[in-house]
Amino acid sequence: MAERSQTYLWAMRALFVGICTLFVFLRLLPLDTLPRGWAGPDFILAFTLAWGLRRPEFVPPLLVAAVFLLCDLLFHRPPGLWAALVLIGSQTLRARAPDLRDLTFPVEWVSVATTLVAMTLGYRLILGVLMVDQAPLGLSLMQMLMTLIAYPLVVLVSQSLLGVRKVAPGELDAMRP
């Protein structure tokens, strides 16, 4: 039993890495080199937050930091800052997860939204204070909104297709070795 759940745990972690790699790959495809006037949702972030709220053990802090640091390096962002903010955000959400477990989805969505807004504002504030070149404000806000809009979709896919659900009260004991 213990062994099986251990294998399952590592399989889900590998699945998370696979999903992140897939989205990194899709974003790196050289399809439109013209500047677009819009920004799509950040699916990697949405998956991290959604999984972190449901099964924190699938997205351990080390994995989150590694994935987002790699994204920072690949997407030509200031390295480290966004990764640190995502780590803080996901850990804050994780700390609130026991309260959210019994509540409905809209409440969860609102708390994800506040975290995301705080992360985006903090990011822009720190970059502004250190006088680093920034992306246009409209584009960052648009990406934030799109991520929020995409969040329910990500949750739906995670729950129905990938089987990442909240742990039911009785299940927690059964799962432990």
Partner 1 sequence: MAKDRNQDGDYSGQLRRLLVGVLLLCLLGLFLVWRIDSPRIERFRAQVIDRVVPSFDWAMAPVTGAVNIIHDFQSYQRIYQQNQELRRELQQMKAWKEAALQLEQENARLLDLNNVQLDPRLTFVTGVVLADSGSPFRQSVLINVGARDGIVDGWAAMDGLGLVGRISGVGDNTSRVILLTDTSSHIPVTIEPSGQQALVSGDNTPSPTVSFIEAPDRVRPGDRLITSGDGGVFPAGLHVGQLAKDPGGRLRVRLSADYERLEFLRVLRNWRDERISDPGGLVTPYGPIPNPVDPENAAQESVVAEPADG
Only segment of 8-16, 71-79, 114-122, 155-163 that touches partner 1 (CB under 8 A): 71-79
Using the minimum distance from each CB to partner 1, give the nearer residue, 27 or 109: 27
Cβ neighbours for 27, distance < 8 A, ≥ 6 positions apart: 75
Using the minimum distance from each CB to partner 1, give the nearer residue, 106 or 169: 169
69 binds partner 1 (CB under 8 A): yes
A 10 A CB-CB count for 86 gives 27
Give the residue, chosen from 15, 17, 24, 167, that forms a contact with partner 1 under the rule CB under 8 A: 24
Residue type, 43: F
Give the residue, chosen from 46, 59, 83, 155, that forms a contact with partner 1 under the rule CB under 8 A: 83
Cβ neighbours for 145, distance < 8 A, ≥ 6 positions apart: none
H or E element in which residue 42 lies: none
36 binds partner 1 (CB under 8 A): yes
State the Cα–Cα distance between residues 51 and 163, nearest whole angstrom.
10
Q: How many residues bind partner 1 (CB under 8 A)?
A: 45
Give the residue, chosen from 2, 130, 161, 168, that forms a contact with partner 1 under the rule CB under 8 A: 130
Give the residue, chosen from 13, 15, 17, 91, that forms a contact with partner 1 under the rule CB under 8 A: 91
* Alpha-helical regions (H) of the chain: 2-28, 43-54, 61-74, 81-100, 105-129, 137-160, 171-175
Euclidean distance between the first and the last CA atom of the chain, given in angstroms as a whole number: 7
39 binds partner 1 (CB under 8 A): yes
17 binds partner 1 (CB under 8 A): no
Exposed / middle / buried, residue 172 (Cβ in 10 Å: 0-12, 13-18, 19+): exposed
Give the residue, chosen from 5, 8, 10, 40, that forms a contact with partner 1 under the rule CB under 8 A: 40
Residues that bind partner 1 (CB under 8 A): 24-25, 27-40, 61-62, 65, 69-70, 73-81, 83-84, 87-88, 91, 130, 132-133, 135-136, 139-140, 143, 173, 176
